[in-house]
A and B are shown apart, each in its own frame.
Chain A
């Protein structure tokens, strides 16, 4: 397997840091946490285990490694963060519900009042607060500026009416950051405000949405005359779009380690094919046709991986982020979906039983067929969102046409 980190000529301090990280992960990653990560069908692992992991990270002082040190961040260099990120992928750490830590917190740091910073940031770090992201709305889709949810000003409060959809794990959240329409102006994004809302406010209702993979990862959140104090505005009234811009830079950032997770997925696919029979007494992995498909997959992966690694190295050398990354993401999303399809086909008829209970971290029932058949089908179904969430594939094509090809 390609090892990006070995490629990067780490200094001896960086090597030592890497050892420290590995030791920490080896000591703290349990089978349950690994299982929670393994059975993550879309973006987030079973909530309880993400929560448990966040607690472990916090105890070590690594609860929010990207934050500045003054707020409790690790104070690491860019390279250290990259090492951390890659080692975490390799150790299969659970995907924590991170909208508070990774999206809301950076905005609070930049736009928040001193009170807001002092109140919210420590709670995010410790895992006391869990934030949902209230951006998308029914019928609105990829164009955020078309949002409809109203916030009427009433003295020193706002009154909220409307609904937010695709809010991951809102049923586990105690707070939600929302984009609301509080005014209007010549531009579509004028009059949008960014609000920090408590989930236990009267008038909020949460309806979980089950995905085709069978997991209740998303919710729709309804707001019916919900009153929020104006002290919960982040940034200025009607100027929430500035906050959004800052946030989106974080949401679409990252990218380093993409090839590591793709290779991780490839290795899993190989393992499935190793455990699967070819129907004639042999192993599927030894089947000539399947082997050929696997090899072609591997070649696609090498292209994706090399391209993405070159880009992260250039970024590391201080080059500004490139629009080409969006172009590369079009392909890497596709390759990543293709691998789930191949794995799903690899398990053949044993992809057919619905096995939600058997793939829980604490299984509720025995699996039908061998253990390795549990993941491929729901993973294939869940990962269809890869070309929808965060802007559809079609939108990304438009962007590349405009910004890369100049059309």
Chain B
């Protein structure tokens, strides 16, 4: 669907799509994944050159001052290309915190490094017992003599194996489920007492479990106000929801394109399967689904700078609707490809798996419906 965008935004989207088409073949992606680095340093550098890594940051620190709509454009393009890069954590999750919470020293230290493609930041908000609950934070940060001692576990942290730094939530006061009392800290990846257990993920990324055993960080590593981390985390996660839903829209567009092509060429009983009405209608329904996923996500992007509740309600709504549409488009793309769709060989299965994983990221449908009701005051 063509949304109301500025000429600049349109050009940005087109140039990204063109870049991925010519520079990022599926075979390259699979090779990168096989190599086990979790991302492609060359591609990351290219993203820096293209300005994608500068997108969400304040121009005062070398950024472009992009909006959620700009993020939408970039992540839809990455979704279309199935780029397995640490963009969501470094640019969106960490980026939002840097923009909204960090002090000048932290911004000066970290933003230019990210923009230059020299710094990858992993983000640990979730814990094994917490499911999608951002306030279920059992990791503690205890203040002692100008330091904090951090102990606890963060689960399924994307890009953690290559990250140079982490930003994590830890409890400075209160019980594990309290909304108050959560603070945010930057932690160096090589900090003493921090161990990572890294593994590949179903969708071709690398992630880690992070174990903090009395990791000592200086008080200057605190970002945002002490005990007041949750609203910041929610904003960062809302931004990630919008970006990841845009990525899902890109995934779905690519799947529909491939499925359409396949159905036009694949023959059964002497004719292309696209000549069967049941297949035609299915393809139409997939397209209808994708358009509405795009619409609800762009809506959330455009409402992003409204009030807190409106922003979160719109993000939760996008999450719910996109999950639903993806649950239709993904499996049907596999189904219409037949057995070939079930193989690792074809990119279709990989798009499908990314969609499935996104459906369990930043809240599943269940969690997001409740969040929507809560934020929309229903």
Contact = CB atoms under 8 A, between A and B. Distances in A.
A324 interface: no
B367 to A, nearest CB: 7
Interface stretch (B56-64, B83-91, B97-105, B131-139): B131-139
Given A345-B366, A349-B155, A368-B197, A388 B342 contact: yes
Contacts of B345: 209-210
Interface residues of B, number: 52
A397 B199 CA distance: 42
Contacts of B268: 141-143
B113 interface: no
B278 A349 contact: no
A349 B342 contact: no
- Centre residue among A218, A341, A349, A388 by max chain B CB count within 10 A: A349
B177 interface: yes
B207 interface: yes
B119 interface: no
Interface in B127-166: 128-133, 136, 155-156
A15 interface: no
Contacts of A212: 334, 342-344, 349-350, 352-353
B331 interface: yes
A350 B157 CA distance: 11
B202 A279 contact: no
Contacts of A393: 335
A289 B339 contact: no
Contacts of B126: 349
Given A279-B132, A344-B356, A211 B343 contact: yes
Contacts of B279: 394
Interface stretch (B20-28, B243-251, B357-365): B357-365
A136 B339 CA distance: 10
B200 interface: yes
Contacts of A380: 356
Interface of B: 126, 128-133, 136, 155-156, 176-177, 197, 199-203, 207, 209, 266, 268-269, 276, 278-279, 327, 331, 334-335, 338-339, 341-345, 349-350, 352-353, 356-357, 359-361, 364-367, 369-370
A388 B349 CA distance: 14
6 contacts: A210-B345, A212-B344, A212-B353, A352-B361, A353-B200, A385-B342
Nearest to B348: A212
Contacts of B128: 350, 369
A135 interface: no
Contacts of A210: 343-345
A16 interface: no
Nearest to A355: B199
Contacts of A388: 334-335, 338-339, 341-342
Contacts of A165: 339
Contacts of A67: none
Interface string A290-325: 100000000000000000000000000000000000
A279 B366 CA distance: 12
Which residue, A212, A351, A377, has most C-beta atoms of chain B within 10 A?
A: A212
Given A142-B268, A143-B268, A348 B177 contact: no
A403 to B, nearest CB: 16
Given A212-B342, A369-B128, A352 B203 contact: yes
A394 B278 contact: yes
A280 interface: yes
Interface in A357-407: 368-369, 377, 380-381, 384-385, 387-389, 392-394, 397
Nearest to B364: A345
A339 B367 CA distance: 19
A278 interface: yes
A389 B341 CA distance: 12
A315 B278 CA distance: 33
Contacts of A158: none
Contacts of B131: 277-280, 348-349
Interface string A127-141: 000000000100101
A166 interface: yes
Interface in A192-218: 209-212, 214, 218
A401 to B, nearest CB: 10
A392 B349 CA distance: 17
A186 interface: no
Contact of B360 (A214, A349, A368, A392): A349
Contact of A353 (B201, B338, B341): B201
B178 to A, nearest CB: 12
Contact of A350 (B136, B156, B278, B343): B156
B284 to A, nearest CB: 15
Contact of A279 (B335, B339, B342, B367): B367
Contacts of B350: 212
